[in-house]
């Protein structure tokens, strides 16, 4: 077969001009990941002497009070601006109300205090403000019965507990509290509680659009969840995009300093919709299931691990997220540096 004759195309636009060299691609990049855009998620567990690997999240650990300090130092050295800390109590410390969450000697509050004492303001300390790790039933608040005898999470009692938890976290040294229980009115109540106690400078990261997602599966392994049932009555239906936007609007009106969409990958449309109107910065959480799928595919040699991690985070940033909570933060910051 003969090769077709090359006929010059007289094109006004040749987009490939912007892709010719690595330097040109860097010059024309529309979206850039930076270490300061990433938030490292960490777990600290009570009653252990060595870090415990999380089986469903290869490379992630439940840390001791000592090793979590080492992880914070690594994040600082890599240029990560913030950590998000989750506490894993001993089973015997869980109860129906989740009272260890606001106890000054509870695992999460002790860890916050230790990190603040060692690092001061070198890194932003964000604390998860929710009860699911601390309740014996694994729900995000105390249970009650509705008028028809059904067991439900008590919204208003949960908000009162979140206020106590947020105050304890602020007293321990958290720069940011992050209510994630999806209870109506939680942001306004926490803001009032913090302000009345003199913690006007402690910020609130609102989990505004948090979906009842299958992508959370490995996280329950990470925090030793005692969940019975599901969270569909308070977390959002995965099919509802406008509802996520409404929740973000409400949290902003109530005083949220930042709003979040969680999970990230399957909800990038919601990230974009929130980012398009939000007067405050928008975060997205690359959750445990997203992490686990990447790790499993990479371990099998099906994908290039570094490229797919960077591409997934870039996609979240491109969708409109100003900040990304991810288990990869410190590692990726090292690559970017």
- Indicate which CATH number applies to the domain containing 298: 3.20.20.70
Report phi then psi at 32, rounded to 5: -130, 130
pLDDT at residue number 330: 98
Mean pLDDT of 19-34: 93
CA dist 89 to 45, 63, 93, 131, Å?
6, 12, 6, 11
Q: How far apart are CA 135 and CA 121, in angstroms?
A: 31
Q: Where residue 141 falls among pLDDT bands split at 50, 70, 90? A: confident
Q: Is the pLDDT of residue 224 over 80?
A: no
Q: Is the pLDDT of residue 186 over 90?
A: yes
pLDDT at residue number 235: 85
Q: Say which of 118, 232, 262, 317 is annotated catalytic.
A: 262
The reported pTM is 0.94
Using DSSP's 3-state secondary structure scheme, residue 297 falls into helix
Query: Looking at the 3D structure of the chain, how many domains does it have?
Result: 1
310 in a structural domain: yes
Mean pLDDT of 241-254: 96
Mean pLDDT of 118-132: 96
Sign of dihedral through CA atoms 219, 225, 228, 232? negative
Q: Is the pLDDT of residue 219 over 80?
A: no
12 in a structural domain: no
Mean pLDDT of 11-15: 93
Q: Is the pLDDT of residue 227 over 70?
A: no
Q: How far apart are CA 189 and CA 179, in angstroms?
A: 11
Q: Say which of 74, 94, 118, 210 is annotated catalytic.
A: 210
Decide which of 120 and 217 is more confident: 120
Q: Where residue 226 falls among pLDDT bands split at 50, 70, 90? A: low
74 is catalytic: no
232 is catalytic: no
Helix extents (H) in the chain = 22-27, 67-78, 107-119, 155-172, 186-196, 217-222, 241-254, 268-277, 288-299, 305-319, 329-336
Instruction: For residue range 40-97, list pLDDT tens digits in order.
Output: 999 999 999 999 999 999 999 999 999 999 999 999 999 999 999 999 999 899 999 8
Q: Which residues pair with 197 in a beta bridge?
A: none
238 in a structural domain: yes
Sign of dihedral through CA atoms 204, 136, 44, 167? positive
3-state helix, strand, coil in the chain (%, to 5): 45, 20, 40
- Find the domain containing 174 and state its range: 31-336
Tell me 233's DSSP state: T
> Other CB atoms closer than 10 Å to residue 22's CB: what's the count?
8
Please give the structure tokens belonging to residue 66. 């000592």
Burial class (CB in 10 A: 0-12, 13-18, 19+), 243: middle
58 in a structural domain: yes
17 in a structural domain: no
């Amino acid at each position: 077969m003969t090769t077709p004759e090359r006929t010059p195309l007289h094109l006004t636009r040749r987009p490939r001009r912007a892709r010719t060299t690595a330097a040109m691609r860097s010059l024309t990049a529309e979206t850039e990941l930076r270490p300061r855009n990433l938030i490292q998620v960490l777990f600290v567990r009570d009653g252990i002497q060595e870090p415990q690997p999380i089986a469903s999240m290869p490379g992630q650990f439940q840390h001791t009070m000592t090793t979590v300090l080492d992880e914070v130092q690594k994040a600082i050295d890599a240029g990560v601006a913030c950590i998000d800390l989750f506490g894993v109590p001993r089973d015997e410390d869980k109860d129906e109300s989740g009272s260890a969450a606001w106890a000054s000697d509870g695992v999460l509050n002790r860890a916050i205090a230790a990190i603040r004492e060692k690092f001061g303001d070198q890194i932003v300390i964000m604390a998860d403000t929710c009860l699911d790790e601390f309740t014996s039933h694994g729900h995000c608040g105390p249970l009650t019965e509705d008028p028809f005898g059904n067991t439900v999470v008590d919204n208003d009692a949960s908000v009162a507990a979140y206020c106590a938890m947020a105050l304890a976290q602020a007293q321990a040294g958290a720069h940011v509290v992050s209510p994630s229980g999806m209870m109506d009115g939680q942001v306004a109540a926490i803001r009032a509680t913090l302000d009345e106690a003199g913690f006007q400078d402690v910020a609130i990261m609102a989990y505004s659009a948090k979906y009842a997602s299958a992508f959370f599966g490995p996280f329950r392994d990470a925090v030793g969840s005692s969940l019975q049932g599901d969270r569909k009555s308070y977390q959002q239906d995965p099919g509802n995009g406008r509802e996520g936007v409404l929740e973000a609007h409400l949290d902003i009106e109530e005083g949220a300093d930042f709003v979040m969409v969680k999970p990230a990958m399957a909800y990038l449309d919601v990230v974009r919709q929130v980012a398009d109107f939000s007067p405050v910065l928008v975060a997205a959480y690359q959750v445990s299931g997203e992490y686990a799928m990447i790790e499993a595919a990479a371990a099998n040699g099906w994908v290039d691990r570094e490229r797919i991690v960077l591409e997934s985070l870039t996609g979240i940033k491109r969708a409109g997220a100003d900040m990304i909570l991810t288990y990869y933060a410190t590692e990726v910051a090292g690559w970017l540096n």
